Amino acid sequence: MRLLTHNMLSSNIKGVEKGFPLRIEAEKVVEKPVEMNADFLRKMFEKVEWKAFVEASRSMGYAQLPEEVDSGMLESDEFLSRFHHALLELHLEEGALVCPETGRRFPVNKGIPNMLLHEDEV
Amino acid sequence: MWYLCVFYHRLLDYRKPEVESLAHLFGAFEDEQNGDVPSQLQWKLPIHHHPDSPFHFVNLPSEQVARSIANRSILVKGMYELWGEGGSYEELKDSVLSYPDERKLPYLEAGSTFKITVDSFGKVMSLNEQKELIQGLAYIPFKGQVKLKNPDHNFWLIEIDNYGRNNGLPPIVQRRIFFGREVGGADRKLIPTYQLKSRTYLGPTAMDAEMAFLMANQALATSGKLIYDPFVGTGSILVGAAHFGALTMGADIDIRVVRDGRGPNCNVWSNFEQYGLPMPVGLLRADNNRPPWRSGLKEIFDAIICDPPYGVRAGGRKSGGRKLLKGAVEPYVVPDDKRTDHIPSTAPYSLVECVHDLLDLAAKMLAMRGRLVFFYPVLRDDDCAETHFPEHPCFKLISSSEQILSSRYSRVLLTMVKVGAYTKEIAEAARLKHLEFRENHVKWLQDGNLHSAVFSPIDAQLPEAGDSKFIKDPKPKYRGNYYVGLGHSTVKIKVGIFGDSFFFLVGGLDNS
């Protein structure tokens, strides 16, 4: 699971008000290189919840992202490559995503998060 | 400028929508910004030709655009700049001679290489006949060298005639001959490379390669775009989109399909690896009925392409405990100690609710002008004159293309463009509809049941086996499966319904 995916997910258990962002319990993190596409990065930059992204990146072992950003930073190659690395090259292979409100764990196995809700959560 | 567009004679309903979508992708409509709906191309039919004919004239802004469209398409056999046409070879000669020299001479120069291909529709011409016809073109001042493999310029002499027999093509009234310079055509190696029979990881409803590419073209898949499939399965649809450069993401409610596959070298990832394509950006197990997206997320996907479960060969599932939703058991809580390995029970998901959820998801998550491309099953009922396709205030339907699956039902590929923003009112209406589905769970399962309509015993009206073996088919004979009676025997002409191996037959007919 990449951080791009993580940034889109929330715990939608019935009754939960604030299910985003999910806390990452990282058991196995892998780095896989991906070809960079600047257009794609610029588009995603508009959609990413930055604070949650930085925090998630830290829990995956990468702390090189700036705390605050503005769109001017997209001009910088340095920033783009760090953004690219955190967004697309870090993989959570094994671990869990934890609901911030209830503590319910959504397991991540073989890189695939299991976001299916139990019968009493819908 | 007008080009002669010759289509492969298959998937008739898909041909023009593909060209229209690709025209949009390659900027044919840049000048006229017609609000929400893409402008349409101008089409003309050759004289006497039926709309189902493989031959059409299309008006495109430049050769560059024509080439791009033809080369990326799946169904365009060739796109030609027409130098002449006629009902006889004499007429053709006059026509070619009167075509402006400034359009011809640059392609006839000394130092260039060329070849002339003779193509006849409806009959096979011997090599001698072809040679004679080529020699008959001596009035064109070819100065280049003949080169049969990869010449600079490829000229085509195309003859279509009424040969009397019903050969499966639309009726041709009179002979017509075309001569033109090829500008582009579909890559014939594409489908053999990606065909399902050599795919590492398959599932029962994997989309065949040809159709996956057609869907990707309808969705305008290209580099820099993010494309999502909420029913990803083995990833067959995303493979098509990834081939054209898009980044992909998929979800499925069945964790075994998406996470495990059939082993470490036989899963969704290995399908992408097989073709050297970039892996999906994300795969997850999620229920499209209860999506895991954060509430602020919207307009993130450039396209959504999918084949939702119709409930005929593969039923859809959604979360929520089958017995619970039916009211057969009281609401229960999963005990804490069992939670970690608990596999949630899922309930059947009717097509109606499934499509409602898909439209709601797309309305929220697609970027403006983004495309939703999906299959919708329809019953092939003689009585039912009009089919009603799903509608949504955020979307405009721009094309619908039917593919016949059996005598009972077809699937229609719908292409919708997002033209309206996802407002609070729309969100609220969707929420209420979602609750309504929940309340009436049992009712929707029965009413929306396509499975029984397709698999119920055959009508007594159908002719018995041993008769002429004709199927009562309201559509003209060359759509879908062709059954041509020649005296007492039947000749079955396959037009490739389901890629290269599938074929639905019902009733007292030949099974081969």
Instruction: Write down the pLDDT at residue B280.
Output: 94
B160 burial type by CB count under 10 A (0-12 exposed, 13-18 middle, 19+ buried): buried
Q: Are residues B286 and A116, on separate chains, in Cβ contact within 8 Å?
A: yes
Q: Mean pLDDT, to the nearest integer, of B90-108?
A: 94
Q: Are residues B285 and A113, on separate chains, in Cβ contact within 8 Å?
A: yes
Cβ contacts (< 8 Å) between B247 and chain A: which residues?
Answer: 37, 40
The one-letter amino acid code at B377 reads P
Percent of chain B with pLDDT over 70: 76
User: Has residue B297 got a pLDDT over 60?
Assistant: yes
Cβ contacts (< 8 Å) between B296 and chain A: which residues?
Answer: 20, 49
Q: Tokens in use for B429?
A: 């209406």
Span B345-364, pLDDT tens digits: 777 778 888 899 999 999 99
C-alpha distance from B19 to closest chain A C-alpha (Å) = 26
What are the beta bridge partners of residue B484? B491
Q: Mean pLDDT, to the nearest integer, of B289-312?
A: 90
Mean pLDDT score of chain B, rounded to an integer? Answer: 82
* Architecture of domain B191-455 in this structure: 3-Layer(aba) Sandwich (3.40)
Dump the DSSP string for B98-158: HS-HHHHGGGS-TT-EEEEEEEEESSPPPHHHHHHHHHTTTTS---SEE-SSS-SEEEEEE
Helix axes B209-218, B12-25, angle to 10 degrees: 40
Q: Mean pLDDT, to the nearest integer, of B139-165?
A: 88
Query: Is the ipTM of this structure higher than 0.85?
Result: yes
Instruction: Write down the pLDDT at residue B172.
Output: 63
Cis-peptide, bond into residue B38, ω within 30° of zero: no
User: Has residue B424 got a pLDDT over 50?
Assistant: yes
- Enter the pTM of the model: 0.85
Structural domains for chain A: 3-113 (2.20.25.10)
Q: Tokens in use for B369?
A: 């002008």
Interface of A with B in 21-40 (CB under 8 A): 21, 34-35, 37, 39-40
Q: Of A15 and B477, which is predicted with more confidence?
A: A15
Q: Are residues B344 and A116, on separate chains, in Cβ contact within 8 Å?
A: yes
CB-CB contact of A14 with A20 (8 Å) = no
3-state secondary structure of B116: strand
Percent of chain B with pLDDT over 90: 55
Instruction: Write down the pLDDT at residue B37.
Output: 57
Does residue B260 sit at the A interface (CB-CB below 8 Å)?
yes
Does residue A59 sit at the B interface (CB-CB below 8 Å)?
no
- In A, minimum Cα distance to B228 occurs at A5
User: Has residue B464 got a pLDDT over 90?
Assistant: no
**Banded pLDDT at B322 (limits 50, 70, 90):** low
Distance CA B437, CA B444 (A): 7
CB within 8 Å of B500: residues ≥ 6 apart = B195, B196, B197, B208
Span B118-129, pLDDT tens digits: 998 877 889 999
Q: Are residues A8 and B294, on separate chains, in Cβ contact within 8 Å?
A: yes
Q: How far is CA A3 from CA A6, A44, A109, B252, B253, in A?
A: 5, 12, 15, 19, 21
**Banded pLDDT at B160 (limits 50, 70, 90):** confident
Instruction: Write down the pLDDT at residue B475.
Output: 45
Cβ contacts (< 8 Å) between B259 and chain A: which residues?
Answer: 109-110, 112, 114
**Banded pLDDT at B100 (limits 50, 70, 90):** very high
Span A47-105, pLDDT tens digits: 999 999 999 999 999 999 999 888 888 889 999 999 999 999 999 999 999 999 999 99
**Banded pLDDT at B436 (limits 50, 70, 90):** confident
Distance CA B16, CA B19 (A): 5
Q: Are residues B282 and A10, on separate chains, in Cβ contact within 8 Å?
A: no
Q: Are residues B294 and A115, on separate chains, in Cβ contact within 8 Å?
A: no
Does residue A100 sit at the B interface (CB-CB below 8 Å)?
no
Spell out the CATH class of B2-187. alpha beta
How remote is the C-alpha of B79 from its chain's centroid? 19
User: Has residue B510 got a pLDDT over 70?
Assistant: no
CB-CB contact of B362 with B425 (8 Å) = no
All CATH 3.40.50.150 domain ranges in chain B, comma separated: 191-455
All CATH 3.30.2130.30 domain ranges in chain B, comma separated: 2-187
User: Has residue B491 got a pLDDT over 50?
Assistant: no
- In B, minimum Cα distance to A20 occurs at B294
Nearest to A120 among B286, B292, B332 (CB): B332
How remote is the C-alpha of B408 from its chain's centroid? 20
Span B396-422, pLDDT tens digits: 999 999 999 888 888 999 999 999 999
* Cβ-based contacts under 8 A for chains A and B: 107
Nearest to B258 among A43, A112, A117 (CB): A112
Distance CA A48, CA A61 (A): 19
Does residue B139 sit at the A interface (CB-CB below 8 Å)?
no
**Banded pLDDT at B65 (limits 50, 70, 90):** very high
Instruction: Write down the pLDDT at residue B123.
Output: 79
Q: Mean pLDDT, to the nearest integer, of B83-97?
A: 94
